[in-house]
Amino acid sequence: MSTMSENAGKVSAPVTESVAATQLRRLSAWRAFEIVLWVAAFAAIFLLPSHMLVLTEIAIVALFAISLDLILGYAGIVSLGHGAFFGLGAYAAGIFAKHIYAEPVTGLFVAAAASGIFGFATSFLVLRGSDLTRLMTTLGIALMLAEVANQMAWLTGGADGLSGVMVGPILGLFEFDLWGKTGYIYCLFVLFILTCLARRLVNAPFGLSLKAIKGNPVRAAMVGVPSRRRIVAIYTVAAVYAGIAGALLTHTTSFVSIDVLAFHRSADVLLVLVLGGVGYLYGGIIGAIVFTLLRDWLSVITPQYWMFWIGLVLVIIVVVGRENLGRWHTFLPNSLQERLARVVNWRLGMKLRGEQ
């Protein structure tokens, strides 16, 4: 396979390479809505000082959902146990901060390593089987991990949670404050950096090959995509992301509850991603905003029964059809639609180079 493509490359190397490179560059160019989103997120530090805790939560959920999007949206792996990596990262960061070293950024790396290793080890279990098998395997792993955390009370605090986690200043410089401002800036920076990395990853040939696997594994293999290796790689990356999200939660709350491994976390993150849309990374962020605000609003109205309405939202989304949610703008008048499309699809730098 490789010799073939090399030969083909020799014949028309300049042409194909430039076309492919241009297309990839077009894909990875920054779009207007992304820039607006990030500017808004950073502006919120100054504009919404009283909502730091909610914003922090949104940032963490967003990162978690992005990590699920990497495997669900790009590789097409349905997981009901993604919370396992989130919880593992949360516990790793908590235990590390409590017993070894309190500086959070180091903790992030430790949590990332821990869930990355676990993700790598378990990724071989999702290679085989149908959707159902994958669902059950991921669910089973998450349940096992929850059971372990519950039983190893000497290390994890068991059902009472891991308390007494003292988190030091970030990089030794920035102390976490009472209003959560430092926490939000910290989470936002991590989210921003990791989203940029994920963008880079999915808009590279690597991401395209994942989409090929999702679309049709047999054909992907025929054009020479090593699908097993790709799935292992993306699953590990997603585990790292989820672990970092969990670590962020530990660092901003100074506490790890057994709840981080609960089933509803895995279900919630699915809902978040579906609310925002699957397969373009920003679905995680938009979904996190919608979900968190929705839940906060519902839990103010019906403190005990918000779960009902969340469930109803899920049912309605599915019955209406997920793909129709993404097409809401088709109900707008035509002129508005065109303008919207132009704004959304505007890409940074493209006009200057005259490629659009």
Partner 1 sequence: MLTILFDGIAYGMLLFIIAVGLAITLGLMNFINLAHGAFAMVGGYITVVLMNRHGVSFYWCLLIAFLAVGVIGAVLERTLYRRLYSAPHLDQVLFSVGLVFMSIAAAHYFMGGQQQLIQLPPELRGRIEIFGVGVGRYRIFITVFCAVLVVALQLALTRTRFGSQLRAAVDDGRVARGLGINVSVVFALTFALGSGLAGLGGAMGAEVLGLDPNFALKYIVYFLIVVTVGGTSSITGPFLAALLLGIADVAGKYYVPEIGAFIIYGVMVLVLVFRPHGLFAREASR
Cα angle 72, 77, 83 (rounded to 5 degrees) comes to 70
User: Is residue 238 near partner 1 by the rule CB under 8 A?
Assistant: no
Tell me which stretch binds partner 1 (CB under 8 A): 2-10, 33-41, 93-101, 316-324. Answer: 316-324
Closer to partner 1 by Cβ: residue 101 or 305: 305
Taking the CA atoms of 59, 40, 47 and 301 in sequence, report the sign of the dihedral they define. negative
Are 323 and 330 spatial neighbours (Cβ–Cβ below 8 Å)? no
Find how far residue 21's CA is from the centre of its chain: 27
Record the tokens describing residue 246, joined without a space: 């969990």
Can you tell me the distance from the alpha carbon of 280 to that of 270, in angstroms, rounded to the nearest whole number?
15
Interacting residue with partner 1 among 11, 47, 132, 352 (CB under 8 A): 132
Closer to partner 1 by Cβ: residue 24 or 78: 78
Interaction residues for partner 1, span 273-302 (CB under 8 A): 274
User: Is residue 47 near partner 1 by the rule CB under 8 A?
Assistant: no
Are 85 and 119 spatial neighbours (Cβ–Cβ below 8 Å)? yes
Residue pointed to by tokens 């401002």: 181
Tell me which stretch binds partner 1 (CB under 8 A): 90-98, 146-154, 217-225, 240-248. Answer: 146-154
Tell me which stretch binds partner 1 (CB under 8 A): 4-12, 169-177, 266-274, 340-348. Answer: 266-274
Can you tell me the distance from the alpha carbon of 136 to that of 282, in angstroms, rounded to the nearest whole number?
27
Closer to partner 1 by Cβ: residue 12 or 133: 133
In the bound complex, what is the minimum distance in angstroms from residue 143's beta carbon to partner 1? 5
Return left, alpha or beta for 21; rule: phi > 0 is left, psi -120 to 50 is alpha, else beta.
Answer: alpha
- The residues binding partner 1 (CB under 8 A) are 72, 78, 80, 125, 128-133, 135-137, 139-141, 143-144, 147-148, 150-151, 263-264, 267, 270-271, 274, 304-315, 317-319, 322
